[in-house]
Amino acid sequence: MAAAVGRICGARLFKNYGVATTQLLSTLGVVGGGVGALLFALEQSVQASGNEAHPPHQPWSHDGWFKSFDHASVRRGYEVYKQVCKACHSLQYIAYRNLVNCTHTEEEAKAEAAEVMVKDGPDEEGNYFERPGKLSDYFPSPYPNENAARAANNGAYPPDLSYIVLARKGGEDYIFSLLTGYHDAPAGVVLREGQNYNPYFAGGAISMAQVLFNEAAEYTDGTPATASQLAKDVATFLRWTSEPELDQRRLMTIKAIGMFTFLLAISYYIKRHKFITLKTRKLAFKPSK
Ligand code: HEC
């Protein structure tokens, strides 16, 4: 880096700015390079010190700059969440209205919301009451608070899943591997009461039991509900909950690339047009007599 900066300076690009600038840039280069190398080394050492298995990369249909979510898969993933994960995990940043036009029609989403009871109030007499959910309601949590969640799960807290894909290294690959990676503990690994062995979980001992088996959930679209299919769909769903705006962002990328390419072409043309007189002029020296 420093060498590169030095070379740029040597190429006299910055010559007019004097020696101080050159030194400043070199220092910046050295510091920048050093910090970069340190960050890289720290990242590598963290990876090397963990004893967990690294999740292999799966060919997700939404991988790539111009790909959108597989919405049928997101919908199936919602069904898995509803039938399996919801018993323990909250999804507090997703509201029923988010499902509309993404995985469900408005009527379907309203019906989904109406299935849960939501605490509301106070009413005119100052009492709190329960009512069926509406589109504007957020997904309800299975437990009233963290202590209740821990008490029901052997002391471990099932984390909120809304942003879990962004919160774990490996993202949806990790979720898929975690859900399908349960094994008998290898010789020498001692698990405590209520713990299970999963090589993808840091430390190997996870308090969540294996939840996905073949036919552990039912799909309304008739897709065979194998364990890996369930895991793939719920991982796709959780990627969507982490980034519901992904489709819009990618659409904007396509529009922006189209627009800026056009603008770049026009700018280039105008630049040529304006500079042509300057660039093709001829300077002649005529000595006065
Ligand atoms: C019976 C309750 C229960 C069910 C059902 C359940 N989980 Fe969990 N889950 C837990 C508990 C408890 C933990 C915390 C484990 C720990 O910290 O050892 C957890 C942790 C997790 C984690 C975080 C792991 C980490 O890296 O910290 C993910 C991701 C997860 N569960 C996904 C799911 C998904 C997806 C489903 C549905 C397919 C599901 N869980 C169903 C109880 C459950």
Q: How far is the CA of 268 from the centre of ligand 1 (A)?
A: 55
Distance CA 159, CA 211 (A): 15
pLDDT digits (tens, 9 = 90+) for 209-229: 999 999 999 999 999 999 999
8 Å CB contact between 85 and 113: no
Atom 33 (ligand 1): residue with closest C-alpha? 85
Q: How far is the CA of 12 from the centre of ligand 1 (A)?
A: 59
Give, for ligand 1, the residue of 74, 174, 208, 232 to mutate: max count of ligand atoms closer than 8 Å to Cβ.
208
Distance CA 177, CA 235 (A): 10
Could you tell me the pLDDT band of residue 135, with boundaries at 50, 70 and 90?
very high
pLDDT at 13 over 90: no
Q: Tell me the percentage of the chain whose pLDDT exceeds 90.
A: 80
CA quadruple 69, 75, 79, 82: dihedral sign? positive
Atom 19 (ligand 1): residue with closest C-alpha? 158
Mean pLDDT in residue range 280-285: 91
**227-242 and 71-83 helices, crossing angle to 10°:** 100
Q: What is the DSSP letter of 199?
A: T
Q: Give the H or E element holding residue 240.
A: helix 227-242
Could you tell me the pLDDT band of residue 171, with boundaries at 50, 70 and 90?
very high
Distance CA 69, CA 239 (A): 9
Q: What is the DSSP letter of 130?
A: E
Position in ligand 1 atom list of the atom nearest CA 238? 35
Q: Which amino acid is at 97?
A: R
Provide CB contacts within 8 A for 18, sequence distance 6+: none
- In this prediction the pTM is 0.83
Q: Which of 230, 233, 275, 249 is nearest to 72 (CA)?
A: 233
pLDDT digits (tens, 9 = 90+) for 226-265: 999 999 999 999 999 999 999 999 999 999 999 999 999 9
8 Å CB contact between 239 and 165: yes
CATH of domain 71-244: 1.10.760.10
Atom 38 (ligand 1): residue with closest C-alpha? 85
Domain ranges (residues) in the chain: 2-49, 71-244
pLDDT at 8 over 70: no
Residue count of the chain: 289
DSSP string for 151-186: HHTTT------TTHHHHSTTHHHHHHHHHH--BPPP
Q: Give the H or E element holding residue 75.
A: helix 71-83
Position in ligand 1 atom list of the atom nearest CA 85? 37
| Confidence at residue 52, expressed as pLDDT on a 0 to 100 scale | 85
